Amino acid sequence: MSPAAPRFGAQNPARLVVLISGRGSNMQALAECCEREAWPAHVAAVISNRPQAAGLAWAAQRGIATGCVDHTAFAAQSDPRAAFEAALREAIDAHAPDLVVLAGFMRILGADFVQHYAGRMLNIHPSLLPAFTGLHTHRRAIEAGCRLAGSTVHIVTPELDHGPIVAQAAVPVLPGDDEDRLAARVLRAEHVIYPRAVRAWVDGAWWLDGGRVRHAPGAADDLWHFSPRP
Ligand code: GRF
Mean pLDDT of 128-153: 98
Is residue 26 lining ligand 1, measured as CB closer than 6 Å?
Answer: yes
- Ligand 1 centroid, distance to 102 Cα (angstroms): 9
Is residue 182 lining ligand 1, measured as CB closer than 6 Å?
Answer: no
71 phi-psi bin (left φ>0, alpha ψ -120 to 50, beta other): alpha
The partner residues of 150 in beta bridges, in order of sequence, read 170
Taking the C-alpha atoms of residue 218 and residue 10, their distance in angstroms, rounded to an integer, is 24
In terms of DSSP H, where are the helices of 102-210? 111-116, 137-143, 179-202
User: In Å, how far from its chain's centre is CA 40?
Assistant: 19
Report pLDDT digits (tens) over 205-222: 999 999 999 999 988 889
Provide the CATH topology of domain 13-117: Rossmann fold (3.40.50)
- Ligand 1 centroid, distance to 1 Cα (angstroms): 32
Per CATH, 13-117 and 128-150+163-230 having the same topology is answered: yes
Is residue 138 lining ligand 1, measured as CB closer than 6 Å?
Answer: no
Is 225 among the catalytic positions?
A: no
Crossing angle of helices 25-36 and 54-61, rounded to 10°: 20
Is residue 25 lining ligand 1, measured as CB closer than 6 Å?
Answer: yes
Q: Where are the domains of the chain?
A: 13-117, 128-150+163-230
So what's the pLDDT on residue 100? 98
So what's the pLDDT on residue 224? 95
CA atoms within 13 Å, Cβ hemisphere of 137? 22
In the structure, what pLDDT confidence band is assigned to residue 3 with cuts at 50, 70 and 90? low
**Residue 47's closest CA among 13, 8, 90, 14?**
90
Ligand 1 atom with minimal separation from the 20 CA: 12
Is residue 126 lining ligand 1, measured as CB closer than 6 Å?
Answer: yes
Pocket residue to mutate for ligand 1, from 19, 20, 23, 26, most atoms within 8 A of Cβ: 26
- Ligand 1 centroid, distance to 189 Cα (angstroms): 11
Which of these is catalytic: 125, 138, 154, 225? Answer: 125
pTM: predicted TM-score of the whole model, two decimal places: 0.96
What secondary structure letter does DSSP report for 37? T
Beta strand ranges found along 54-196 (DSSP E): 65-68, 99-102, 121-125, 148-155, 165-172
What secondary structure letter does DSSP report for 55? H
Ligand 1 atom with minimal separation from the 126 CA: 4
What percentage of the chain reaches a pLDDT higher than 90? 93
Pick among 3.40.50.170, 3.90.1150.10, 3.50.50.60, 3.50.30.60: CATH of 128-150+163-230: 3.40.50.170
